Amino acid sequence: MTGPGPFAVPSGRWVVGVWDGVRFAFGTLSVVPVRVRRWDREAGGRAMVLAPLVGVVLGAVAAGAGALVAWRAGGLLGAVAAVAVLAVLTRGLHLDGLADVADGLGSGKPAEDALRIMKQSDIGPFGVLTLVLVLLAQVAALAGQFAASPLRGALAVLAAAVAARCALAWGCLRSVPAARPGGLGAMVASTVAPGAALASTVGAAALLALAGVTDGRSIAFLPLASALGVGGAWLLLRRCRRRFGGITGDVLGAMAETAATGGLLALALLR
């Protein structure tokens, strides 16, 4: 930092560091063609804190696609379109992690064997069943929102996408170790301070509150649903820590999908 006292301004190095975090976030969490210049734990930690920005961008694209389809072809197809666009924009990364974690947890094997199952390229019966149920829940919840109005459906998509990325920072708290060496999980594990995770989540909630005003509902509506989704992801994290000893990239992906689905279910129940 440079400058005196409370009027200090960010140094060039600080700004560059944030930009490296943005690049890392978009380069690893989306199909956006971004060159990741720094692949280290410092940049990875910043990326997890800034991940809600990825949610805003991807959520806005998916929300627009879903609203357009809902306007022309009905809420159900709009919901399918939104979920499909989000999957494409993330290369199915989070869905793959969700399936792998379901297989690991469902195997009932010791941590080392469960982690080996999660690392395999195929998907077992627990993973398939979990994917089917989660995708059905997301589509059903969004269909109801789009049926109410294209705008309401679009806001629900945005809230789900942002909630999913808010969960990532909480999964990378300094108190949460990596379950195994190597991979994205080990790169970002234990890199985020609790205050940074809280600031990231509060900032995302404020953005959702402003967006929610356009629908004429309480400004707390979307942030509350998002918070409930992140809470569900936190419960999953606790289970994975006890079962695997820490996080992996798959666990982070599963947390993201859990937060998104939980947020959508909350919106369906709160409407």
Q: What is the pLDDT of residues 154-204, one digit of tens each?
A: 999 999 999 999 999 999 999 999 999 888 899 999 999 999 999 999 999
Classify residue 214 by its DSSP letter: G
What is the reported pLDDT for 16? Answer: 59
Distance CA 39, CA 54 (A): 18
Question: pLDDT, tens digit, for every residue of 217-229?
Answer: 778 899 999 999 9
What is the reported pLDDT for 196? Answer: 96
What is the reported pLDDT for 122? Answer: 86
Query: Average pLDDT, whole number, for the chain?
Result: 92
What is the reported pLDDT for 62? Answer: 98
Question: pLDDT, tens digit, for every residue of 54-88?
Answer: 999 999 999 999 999 999 999 999 999 999 999 99
Helix axes 41-73, 12-29, angle to 10 degrees: 50
Minimal CA–CA distance to 253: which of 111, 135, 119, 96?
96
- Checking if the pLDDT of 8 tops 50, the result is no
Torsion sign across C-alpha atoms 177, 19, 232, 109: negative
What are the residue ranges of helices labelled H in the chain?
12-29, 41-73, 75-89, 93-107, 111-119, 125-148, 150-171, 183-188, 194-212, 221-244, 249-270
What is the reported pLDDT for 15? Answer: 57
